[in-house]
Structure 1
Amino acid sequence: MRFIDQLDIAGKKLLMRVDFNVPLDGETITDDNRIKAAVPTIRYALEQGAAIIVMAHLGKPKGKRVEELSLKPVAKRLGEYLDMEVTLAPDCIGAEVEKMAAGLKAGQVMMLENLRFHAEEQAKTVEERGDFGAKLAALADIYVNDAFGVAHRPNASVVDVPYAAKQCCAGFLLKLEWEYLGEALKNPKRPYIAVSGGAKVSSKLGILNNLIGKVDHFIIGGAMANTFLLAQGKDVGKSLVEASLVDTAKKIITKAEGSGTTLHLPVDFIWGKDIENAGGICDADNVPTDGMLLDIGPVSAQKFCDVIKEAKTIVWNGPMGLFEQPAFAEGSLKVCKAMADSDGTTIVGGGDTDAVVHQAGLADKFSFISTGGGSFLEFLEGKELPAFKALKENIDK
């Protein structure tokens, strides 16, 4: 992998793919963390004397121009962070955009309009994407990918532009992801622990199958633990389960037993008859028939924290319960604090997990918080991300 600080970018035009898919309330940005995350790379490029063309997507316009999904408020917010004007182009390709790009001077920033206004951006095949990527690449001298959030998507701006660009590299945000996910997890310090939660086993099957045998301990919480309890022959009341995956859960338990990975499942729970009020604490063998398991219990939380305390590398995806409701947040918060207190390398990924960390006010206590959801999951599944593959294959230009 080659990074932006390894290239001479003075006087060059950079085409920078960023992840500015931020939530909007009308034209008001309600969370601008993704914009802030890209600022260091953009500032560095400006300080080096480059001109920058930023490209991003917003929402799901499905290949059509949708004015409510214009990047206008995003360009304005980026300009506020950079303390300069960021001009928004009327489109992302075409004669007018080409003219604006050609006239861009060193130290200036322009933003292309929403990439997803063109169906070619997300088209499945090279043929369907056509020359869209080549047209984007032609706007600049160097392509820079700093968008880990879309690194798992074979979109034109992610995989086609690097092949058509004169030079390409990764920005600082992608560099951090590569160092922590690509390097720290390649040769982790041990004990190496994976913590997984959330609602569904189905969304974590790839991670379970890839990491069992690699990690020393695998902690499972959240509603996905219910399917494993069912696989052990336990009654889970009215809890959320994936009954079709019970046999798969049994196989994972068996696989762990012979792999050197110790699987940790909850032994007690906070349950409720609805998702707002806790009904009490129960152990795994005595779940109320009309109850839903909505958080790990205090004994489980302590057991999990004891394992975490000894870890030298921890990777976490998925909360331990329905943390959005105060009655069922305690398990996630206890696990979060145990990781924050750890002396080991702590890596967090996924929107809900990120939310737990920020809710606890402990974001600055973690080694690294990934900016990707799907990309983070696919990395943990052992897959090569399309963005990394494209950058590596075009490193020698």
Structure 2
Amino acid sequence: MMKATIKDLDLKGKTVLVRADFNVPLEDGKITNDKRITAALPTIKYIINAGGKVVLFSHLGRVKTEEDLETLSLLPVGNRLSEKLDQDVYFVNTTKGEELESAIEDLKNREVLLVENTRFEDLDGKKESKNDEALGKYWASLGDVFVNDAFGTAHRSHASNVGISEHLPAVSGFLIEKEIDFLGEAVLNPKRPLVAILGGAKVSDKITVIESLLEKADKILIGGGMANTFLRAQGYDTGKSLVEEDKLDLAKSLLEKGKDKLVLPVDVVAAKEFSNDSEHAVRDASEIEADEMALDVGPKTVELFEEVLKDAKTVVWNGPMGVFEMSNFAQGTIKVCESLAKLEDAITIIGGGDSATAAEQLGFEEDFTHISTGGGASLEFLEGKELPGIKALNDK
């Protein structure tokens, strides 16, 4: 998947429209984690150093009401970005119109401007999220070239990524280039054995990923709530555990198709209530009691997973092994994270989402080869789907 990158363009004197991912967590108007801003810096600095004018677009949250216009402004992002770049970042608190056009026209080479939250356009008929043709064309008219560096929205066809791409030379930034390199290699040309670890609550969220990986991976380790559906499909009593009854036949067919490729929990941490304070105990997978629910994988399962992982050369992990937010049911996720961090001769990739949060919180961020910036996008990429935001970019 050879897409043109920012290095393929002459940017001097050009107005460069950049779709970044500044969808950062906010609390009382304050940014609580600025990793996404930091991740965008290499692309922004490259344009500055090349003598271009930077115009940044991003969404923030979901805009549904007039109140959201007050609480979901990108102004705090502009302020934080200014600190990180050590230069002024001009902020325009509108998404279109004369004020925005004049501000962009007045930009000098190496200056940076941030446009207000693109999803403010969603109050008027979801124009951003539904890739309104006129909106994409209008935004494209504000610049000379387009750089998409927001992998987190690459699986969505929005006006601010696909829409702009249709009207300008469109290339990837360094972040998307890195995602394509790592995830693409893991899927299309992995060093083997390739082991996938899939967790999270539901089989239905990851059906197509499992089906796709059954053809590509050497082993697939299943944890989290989704493992319960597979355990029930094997005929085990899973008590009050979360089980997708309507997916049992599918789970059976995946087990038949996958045979020994699919590795399921052999024991679990079970509790009577969905609460960190609930009484809990380790049970064999076949011995969950009627009034219990499985909330984490158990120690024997961790050992089993570690045995599989020790020979792996490529590992892709998406989804926690249990209810990671509760300390009593976080050990499975922690142990898997530790096992991956210790692998010395393997390419280890986290597919964003809760797995990435776990690695960051546990201090293992630097021990992974790559942590994806897009949970949903990385999942669809692993499925082998063509992501609209990447498909729209020019080929090399």
1:161 aligns with 2:164: yes
C-alpha distance in 2, partners of 1:17/1:359?
A: 27
Does structure 1 residue 86 correspond to structure 2 residue 85? no
Q: Secondary structure at the match of 1:203?
A: coil
C-alpha spacing 1:20/1:99, structure 2 compared with 1 (3 Å): same
Partner residue, 2:261:
262
CA contact (8 A) 1:270 1:278 kept: no
Superposed CA RMSD: 1.5
Unaligned stretches of 5+ residues in structure 2: none
* Residue-by-residue CA offset, 1:140-188 (whole Å, 9 max, x unaligned): 11100000000011001111111111x2211111111010012332110
**Is the Cα–Cα contact under 8 Å of residues 63 and 117 in structure 1 kept in the other structure?**
no
Match of 1:178 in 2: 180
Segment of structure 1 superposing worse, 354-363 or 298-307 = 354-363
Does residue 156 of structure 2 align to residue 150 of structure 1? no
CA distance, structure 2, for counterparts of residue 270 and residue 90 of structure 1: 50
Determine if the alignment matches structure 1 residue 334 to structure 2 residue 335.
yes
The aligned residue for residue 380 of structure 1 is 382
1:76-105 Cα shifts (integer Å, max 9, x gaps): 111111111111113122122111111110
Amino acid across the alignment from 1:263: L
Relative to 1, partners in 2 of residues 1:380 and 1:278: Cα closer, same or farther, differing over 3 Å? farther
Find out whether 1:8 has 2:7 as its counterpart: no
Q: 1:67 aligns with which of 67, 70, 74?
A: 70
Rounded Cα–Cα distance in structure 2 between residues aligned with 1:231 and 1:205 = 15
Residue correspondences, number: 387
SS in 2 for 1:189: coil
Q: Who is 1:353 aligned against?
A: 355
User: Is the partner of 2:216 in helix, strand or coil?
Assistant: coil
The two structures have a TM-score, normalised by structure 1, of 0.94
The letter of the residue matching 1:150 is T
Give the structure 2 partner of residue 208 of structure 1.
210
Secondary structure of the residue aligned to 1:245 is helix
Show CA shifts across 1:314-360 (max 9, x none): 00001111121111111111111111111211010132101111122
Shift of 1:24: 1.1
What is the aligned partner in structure 1 of residue 270 from structure 2?
A: 271
How many percent of aligned residue pairs carry the same amino acid? 47
Partner Cα separation in structure 2 for residue 17 and residue 269 of structure 1? 43
CA contact (8 A) 2:272 2:292 kept: yes
Query: Does the 8 Å contact 1:351/1:373 carry over to 2?
Result: yes
Partner of 1:389: 391
In 2, distance between residues paired with 1:335 and 1:130? 45
**1:149, 1:356 → 2: CA distance?**
18
Superposed displacement of residue 45, structure 1: 1.1
The reply to whether residue 114 of structure 1 matches residue 117 of structure 2 is: yes
| Counterparts of 1:123 and 1:4, CA distance in 2 | 25
Q: Which residue of 2 aligns with 1:319?
A: 320
> How much does 1:285 deviate?
1.2
Deviation track 1:258-308 (CA, whole Å, cap 9, x = no partner) reads xxx611000011111122145211101111211111111111100001101
State how far apart, in whole Å, the 2-side matches of 1:219 and 1:115 are. Answer: 39
> Quick one: distance in 1 between partners of 2:53 and 2:129?
29
TM-score normalised per structure 2: 0.95
1:60/1:100 Cα in 2 relative to 1: closer, same or farther (>3 Å)? same
- Maintained 8 Å contact 1:16/1:144: yes
How far apart, in 2, do the equivalents of 1:148 and 1:73 lie? 21
SS state at 1:78 partner: helix
395 and 382 in structure 1: CA distance in 2 versus 1, 3 angstrom threshold: closer
Paired residue secondary structure (2:257): helix
User: Could you say which residue in structure 1 is the equivalent of 2:289?
Assistant: 288
The correspondence for 2:143, drawn from 133, 136, 140, is 140
CA 123–41 in structure 1, closer or farther in 2 if over 3 Å, else same: closer
Structure 1 counterpart of 2:219: 217
Q: Secondary structure at the match of 1:57?
A: coil
Take 1:334 and 1:121, find their aligned partners in 2: how far apart are those partners?
44
Aligned counterparts of 1:179 and 1:395: Cα–Cα separation in 2: 15
Alignment of structure 1 residues 120-131 onto 2, 5 Å = 121-124=127-130, 129-131=132-134
Distance 1:266 1:208, change over 3 A: same
Runs of 4+ aligned residues of structure 1 deviating over 2 Å after TM superposition are 62-65, 119-124
Letter aligned with residue 236 of structure 1: T
For 1:21 and 1:291, how far apart are their aligned partners in 2? 38
SS of the residue corresponding to residue 357 of structure 2 reads: helix
Q: Distance in 1 between matches of 2:71 and 2:336?
A: 40
Unaligned runs of 5+ in 1: none
**Does the 8 Å contact 1:121/1:157 carry over to 2?**
no
Tell me the distance in 2 between the aligned counterparts of 1:230 and 1:77: 49
